[in-house]
Every structure is written in structure tokens, then in C-alpha cells.
Chain A
Amino acid sequence: MLQSIGGFAQAFAQATAPHAAAAETASATPQPPAEVLFHIVGIPVTNSIFTAWIVIAILVLFAYFSTRNMKSIPAGAQNFWELIIELWVGVTEQTMGRRRGRRFMPLVVTAFLFILFSNWFGTLPIAYFTIRNAEGMEVPIFRSANSDLNVTAAMAIMMIALAEFFEFRSLGLLGYLKGLFLPNPMRWLEIFTRPLSLSFRLFGNIFAGEVLLATMLTVAPYVMFVFIALELFVGLIQALIFSMLSLVFLSIATVHEDAHDAHGAHDSMESEMAAATHGQPF
């Protein structure tokens, strides 16, 4: 057993060594700015954006082909999607109630799946394949989308802008402006710290993981599996944290809608209790 693992590790090291060596000629370890692969109508396309497109394509095709013939008794890939949806229905309803939970679940689950698959994509050995770009530099073709600060910042800004928009819509202009200073006079600080914290945490963890994997590949390629497993776990945890925090920010922003609903008795106690007991996966 140990011999077979050792043999596989040796084969993996040999297979990736030329690519690692080629990457070393450009840069020893991954650099924070993503490398430009090619241009489309003068717009540079980096390897992180290219990987993001591939992840999106994989997710869309996988979702389409596994759900086009859905059955009441799920089989095959339909099980996977039902598992994901049921887990997140439980989480969202537990965090913000049935009505609001169902409303925001698609957004949060989309972010979760994109982040998760992007993170895991970065741990694949294909991340070491290189190509010569227009500038004549040897650059990796694939790079986890979340190891580029531009991608994580874009996602974080989108989430926080949505949360602020929903808060503005539910409170009105005066209520929104008042809420920035009352009852918590430092509430306005959140507008700056939330997107920064969301984007830097995700970028920092994933980029550090890529640097760790690249370093360990040259230092100790035989124990790469340990670090790949660690990165798979970190990728899952970071995807969960980003989605969970986005969900909570959206929940805080729309909490006033819940108060209106309570007066209108849209959500009965029975349905709330049913939603609460539906599932507590984490």
C-alpha cells in the first residue's frame, strides 16, 4: 500500500517537475498579480479570469446535464444537487427565516459553488501547465480565480452593495442614513470593513495555499498529498465562511422586512418551526 502511494507520488513529482521548472524560469512562486494570457479586443484576459470562465462553464454544464431529466426519486448527479440545495435551504432558513431564506438562497449558493469549485480547481496538478503569452513570458494557464484579489474584491463588493441596496430599499433614504449612525455610531465603518474583510480573507487564504503548494512541490513533493488535502479543506471552509457572512449581511440588511411580515402574519409560527426543524446540517 505504502509502496503504491510512494510510486504514485514519484510519478506525480516527475510529471509536474518540468512544469514546475518552467514556471521557475518566470517566477519561483505564484505572484499576487495574475498573469495575462491573451487579449480580447484589447482587454487583457488573465489566467485567473480564464479559470473562472472554465469553472462557470463546468458548473453550468454539470447543473444542466444532471437536472434535465429530474426524477422524484433522485439518482446519480441529481443526488449531489439535491444534497447541496437541501443543506443550504436549512442554513438560510435557520439564519433568516423561511421567506427571506428562500429569496436569498440562490445568490448565496451560487457564490458558494463558484468559490468552492474555483478553490478546488487551484489544487489540481493542471495548475502547473504553462504557455508562452504574447509578451513571450512562460505563464501558468490555470490559476484559482480566488487567488486574484480582483476577483474576490468584485464578489465582496457585489455582495455588500446588494446588502446595502436591500437595506436602503426596506428603510428608505432617511431611515438608511439614520441607521448609519444610530443606535451604533460606528455602523458606517462596516461599509468599508465588510468588503475589505471578505475579499482579503478569501484572497489571503487561497493565495497562501497556492504559494504553499508551489513551495512544497519543490521542497517535499512526496508529501504533497497532505498539503493538497489541507487545501481542499481550506477551500471548503473559505467558501462556507464567505457564503455564511454574505448571508448574515443580507439578513441584517433585511431584518426590518421580517418585522413587517410579523405584523402581517405572513410567516406563521408553524411554518417557522417547520423551517427551523427542516434541517440543521452544520
Chain B
Amino acid sequence: MANRTGPSITTVQALAVASQFGITLAISVVLGYFVGHWLDDRLNTSVIFTLIGVLLGLVGATTNTVRLYRALLRKSESEWHAQTTESARTADDGKPNG
């Protein structure tokens, strides 16, 4: 395995996250808009819930994409830690005593 400077994800994983972010953002905002619009109609509250819905959609899409990205990084991160620990242990074993 090549030495890495830090945790990383593969090209296909990066493509999947990027593609997921775009479409999740669109769907979340549209969902938020429709739910907010429906609530505004029911409660006669102008556009307050529509705005809240759109904002929640934006926040939700972003946090969920970050969660997805972190889930992908988690495995790579543990491997990287294991690799660096192993390298440090090997370096320690190589040192002369005293």
C-alpha cells in the first residue's frame, strides 16, 4: 500500500459524494418548500414556513452530505491511524537500546 499523507477517499467515492450532494440539495430544498408552503396555506402565515422549510432543506442536505463524506473517511482514517502506528512501532523497534 502506498504511503499516504492522510485519510483519503477513492475517485468513485468522491464522485458518488459529489453527485449525491447536488441531487440531495435540490430534493431537500424542494421538499422543504412544499412542506412550508402547505403549512403557510393551513396557518395563513404568508411565507414564514416556506422560508423555514427551504432553509431547513439547505441545512439538512449539507449536514447529511457531510455525514456521508465522514462515513467514507472513517474507514480510511482508521487504516491511516493503523498505518502510522505501525510505522512508529517499526521505527521504535529499530532504535538501539540505552
CA distance A193 to B75 in the complex (A): 24
Tally A residues with Cβ within 8 Å of B.
32
Q: Which residues of A contact B76 (CB under 8 A)?
A: 94
Q: Which residues of B contact A237 (CB under 8 A)?
A: 15
CA distance A280 to B75 in the complex (A): 13
Closest to A189 in B: B60
Closest to A242 in B: B16
CA distance A58 to B13 in the complex (A): 29
Residue B72, interface by CB 8 Å = yes
A248-B71, A272-B79 are known contacts. Are A193 and B28 too (CB-CB below 8 A)? yes
**Total A-B pairs, Cβ < 8 A:** 89
Residue A34, interface by CB 8 Å = no
Q: Is the CB of B64 within 8 A of A252?
A: no
Residue B87, interface by CB 8 Å = no
Q: Indicate with 1 or 0, residue by residue over A89-106, a CB within 8 angstroms of chain B CB atoms.
A: 001001111000000000
Main secondary structure of the interface of B (DSSP, over half): helix
Q: Is the CB of A251 within 8 A of B71?
A: yes
CA distance A197 to B68 in the complex (A): 14
24 contacts between A and B (CB under 8 A): A95-B72, A95-B75, A97-B75, A186-B59, A187-B67, A189-B28, A189-B31, A189-B57, A189-B60, A189-B64, A193-B24, A193-B27, A193-B31, A193-B61, A200-B27, A201-B23, A241-B15, A252-B67, A272-B79, A273-B83, A273-B86, A276-B1, A276-B79, A282-B12
Given contact pairs A197-B27, A251-B71, A277-B1, a sample of 16 additional A-B residue pairs in the complex whose CB atoms are under 8 Å apart:
A96-B75, A184-B63, A184-B64, A186-B59, A189-B61, A189-B64, A192-B31, A193-B28, A193-B64, A200-B23, A200-B27, A201-B19, A240-B12, A244-B16, A255-B74, A273-B83
Q: Which 8 A-B pairs have the closest CB atoms?
A: A186-B60, A189-B60, A197-B23, A282-B12, A244-B16, A252-B71, A282-B10, A277-B1
B positions within 8 Å CB-CB of A: 1, 10-13, 15-16, 19-20, 23-24, 27-28, 31, 56-57, 59-61, 63-64, 67-68, 71-72, 74-76, 78-79, 82-83, 86
A positions within 8 Å CB-CB of B: 91, 94-97, 184, 186-187, 189-190, 192-193, 196-197, 200-201, 237, 240-241, 244-245, 248, 251-252, 255, 269, 272-273, 276-277, 280, 282
